[in-house]
Structure 1
Amino acid sequence: MDRPRTPSPPVLLRAARLLDIEKGEYVTEGSVLVEGERITAIGADSLPENTVVRDLGDVTLLPGLMDMEVDLVLGGADHRSPLIPVQEDPAVRTLRAAANARRTLRSGFTTVRNLGLFVQTGGILLDVALKKAIDLGWVEGPRIVPAGHAITPTGGHLDPTMFQALAPHVMPLTVEEGIANGVDEVRKAVRYQLKYGARVIKVCASNGVMSHTGPAGAQQYSDEELRAIVDEAHRAGVKVAAHCMGDRAIRAALDAGIDCIEHGFLASDETLDLMAARGTFLVATTCLTEAMDLTHAAPELQAKAAEVFPLARATTSRAIARGVRVALGTDAPAIPHGRGSKELIALVDRGMTPLQALRAATVVAADLIDAEDRGRLEPGLLADIVAVAGDPLSDIAVTGDVRFVMKGGQVYRD
């Protein structure tokens, strides 16, 4: 029988500044009272008995940051992104994911979407398993919104045999692992992910820059298949995120009712206006267009990146200017896990103010995942709190200097 845990005493966090993310203003001599896993007061006038006061000094308190596109099962401790599908088993990948999860949390990101496995697992949803282990306190990591396996056609962008250009039958994959063709199979693939714990569905609506099977923006699923995927997910109350780059493919995704476009590198002004009007989210993953290591990529893929990435950077700027709802996503390990602040810097470089970039990683991201319990420092919300050195509204780069991380009232970095 488990021993009852001794309740933790209330904690008062004191800092030089606290950012009111909604007003875009600092509360000087900011303080947050935490009881259990929740914030109970900002600038408390009186303290409960036995309150522990922690003076964090000359730092800025922020809501826990959120990354809306990561793949924790890829990328190792040295920040490489090995794709060795015939040498690594699901146990190794899950242990790697645990290490990457800890690194991500300690960098100030307390919530992530793990957006689509594309590895052979025998149908096991590794990100769901990791989420359970984190929620139970077995390992340290952010709150995870898992997608299970990405839904992709044979030869599609997230067909793992495509990346390695494997010969036929070297690595058989199943519908349960997301390889699905035709309306019946895509419905089955979505239902399987939902059955075993997916809380968002990831679909490949177009090719990608790192795809061997055609141009970056080519639409991969038919309109009918996209509508079937959305229908299955929405009836279960789950949103759909689409890896999508080409303008025509993005329009097809929007017409199908997809909730979030990942990358959107080649969107036209008209399509961006439509996204803004409909409130469709864009996870622009714009830092990778400058920081992604392509030295080991095939020459034809390097050439494709050289053509597409400059266009992608301009698209992100146009999306920001047109008022598209941009949520922060790194696509780690396209940039290394634990370096999410680089995406904040890149968003500012593309035209956001530092406050807008911080909102992309907090309140906008919270809206994307329908999480009303986080994204702001307010009474009643989860005590997901980060402290960074300096003034992020003047210099967004200070978000890379994280001094303190609390998730759900527990301290993970101090």
Structure 2
Amino acid sequence: MGVERPPSVFPAQGKRKIMTVSYFLSPEWMIDGTGSPCRKNAAIGIQGETIVSIVDSTEIREKSQDDSFPRIVDLRGFTVLPCLVDSHVHLVMSGSNDPEVRERQLVSGYSEAGDRIQHHLQEHFRYGVLALRDGGDRHGYTLRYRDNLSGPSRSPYVSAVFAGKAWHREGRYGGLIGRVPLKSKGIAESVAREGDQSDVIKVVNSGLNSLREFGKQTLPQFGFQEFKDLWNMARRLEKKVMVHANGIEPVSIPVDAGCDSIEHGFFMGRENLEKMAEKGIFWVPTAVTMEAYSRLMKDDAKISDIARRNLDHQLEQIRIARECGVRTAMGTDAGSPGVDHGKAVIEEMKLFMDAGYSLEEAVMCATSAGADLLGFTEIGQLKPGMNAGFLVVPGPPSKLPDSLESIQMIWRNGKMVYEKCAVTPDPSGDQNHRMDE
């Protein structure tokens, strides 16, 4: 359902009016998700589900004694930012590093998988991730979960885009998350014939990153014409195409033929990044996966060292992407070994900052950039006309991203849906959702 923008709260001319505002949120600091510097002492005017104005808090505090003035939620000492977006997760898998646990998860039936999906959605909510994109599972359980939701969603506050079963070449990597094209059919025709019910089309075009040989690249799985045909088919279906690809050639083929995002993109090189910037193709680096491997594999010095070198190389590519102007969205690959749902966003944000992004730019990658990639037009930024959804974290922005460990409040659709403790009443009058009960 669209969010209709109410009339301006503070018109450009004439006497200022505040009657369209139901209440104000008045944090000490606000990060708006655009990459702009943090704003101090902003007041966010809300009506219904929508942000209708953002003004200086001094303009409203002096009027707050008037009984007819809208209620003010005083959040001095807190930072407000948009709800987060994780652009690459795998909800059917946990971040466990235990091989037996991971194997059980791969072969489990829908009942068990559905419970796991639900739990992981709750974990995303706990860390302020209220929108995400699932990158695929071999059985299509995520689509079944989506389609089995009747009435109010079991996770009503987390919006999700599902790839369902990804596509990979027979005999190549990808069986863990998908399927192969129909016999004697190309990938585009297979998508058309299968009546793909996914929200986004996921294609695997390379292998995994080697943890035994630094910088090893694999051959592409599909050619230029196959991607071109798929791109044209996807446009007709009004679906986006996300491509798992590492290495120069596996990335360059879909970038040249047409795609919406490159997932992972390890060792793809500056030339590909420059082309992606020119074409407006998103990149989802998932750098935290290599940080996790380097940490988990300490007992194997060689693997740990190569994982660390892979990470360092990816951070350099992220730095180049920022320099080139690539549209970079934050995704964690949560469900990979050592990459926990929800919490991993904190580590990925830190890695972006290690690569030269400012805090505000890292927040942008984890909010508005992800929202744009996933097609959510009403979230990701704090500005008039957008959905009134945001996170409230304790302390100044300098405490981020670690302060996401202790989110004080979560707002969605103009209502407080989670409160850690009773800081202030919910002006909407709705019951709060307390995660710590």
User: TM-score range, shorter-chain basis?
Assistant: 0.7 to 0.9
Instruction: Give per-residue Cα distances to partners, 1:46-66, cap 9 Å, x unaligned.
Output: 899796654344111111111
Matches for 1:13-412 after TM superposition, within 5 Å: 13-22=25-34, 24-43=36-55, 53-75=72-94, 82-84=102-104, 87-117=107-137, 119=138, 121=139, 124-127=140-143, 129-130=145-146, 133=149, 136-160=152-176, 178-180=179-181, 184-191=185-192, 195-196=196-197, 198-209=198-209, 216-292=217-293, 294-295=296-297, 305=307, 308-334=310-336, 335-339=339-343, 340-392=345-397, 395-412=400-417
Deviates more, 1:57-66 or 1:222-231: 222-231
Match in the other structure for 1:5 = none
TM-score (norm 1): 0.80
In 2: Cα distance, 1:397 partner to 1:57 partner:
19
Label 1:296 to 1:135 Cα distance change in 2 as closer, same or farther (>3 A). Answer: farther
Quote how far apart the aligned CAs of 1:140 are: 4.5
Please identify the structure whose Cα radius of gyration is greater: 2
In 2: Cα distance, 1:63 partner to 1:26 partner:
12
Label 1:294 to 1:25 Cα distance change in 2 as closer, same or farther (>3 A). Answer: closer
Instruction: Give per-residue Cα distances to partners, 1:329-351, cap 9 Å, x unaligned.
Output: 11102311121111111100011
In 1: Cα distance, 2:180 partner to 2:301 partner:
27
Quote how far apart the aligned CAs of 1:209 are: 2.1
Q: 1:104, 1:141 within 8 Å by CA — same for their partners in 2? A: no
Deviates more, 1:313-322 or 1:107-116: 313-322
In 1: Cα distance, 2:305 partner to 2:225 partner:
32
What are structure 1's unaligned runs of at least 5 residues? Answer: 1-8, 162-176
What are structure 2's unaligned runs of at least 5 residues? Answer: 1-20, 420-437
Match in the other structure for 1:173 = none
In 1: Cα distance, 2:145 partner to 2:224 partner:
32
Percentage of pairs with the same residue: 24
Deviates more, 1:239-248 or 1:289-298: 289-298
In 1: Cα distance, 2:106 partner to 2:361 partner:
42
In 2: Cα distance, 1:226 partner to 1:365 partner:
23
In 1: Cα distance, 2:210 partner to 2:103 partner:
13
Instruction: Give per-residue Cα distances to partners, 1:350-403, cap 9 Å, x unaligned.
Output: 111111111111222222223321111122211221112233367544344422
Q: 2:35, 2:361 within 8 Å by CA — same for their partners in 1? A: no
Label 1:304 to 1:178 Cα distance change in 2 as closer, same or farther (>3 A). Answer: farther
In 2: Cα distance, 1:36 partner to 1:297 partner:
54
Name the count of aligned residue pairs.
Answer: 385
Q: 1:207, 1:215 within 8 Å by CA — same for their partners in 2? A: no
TM-score (norm 2): 0.77
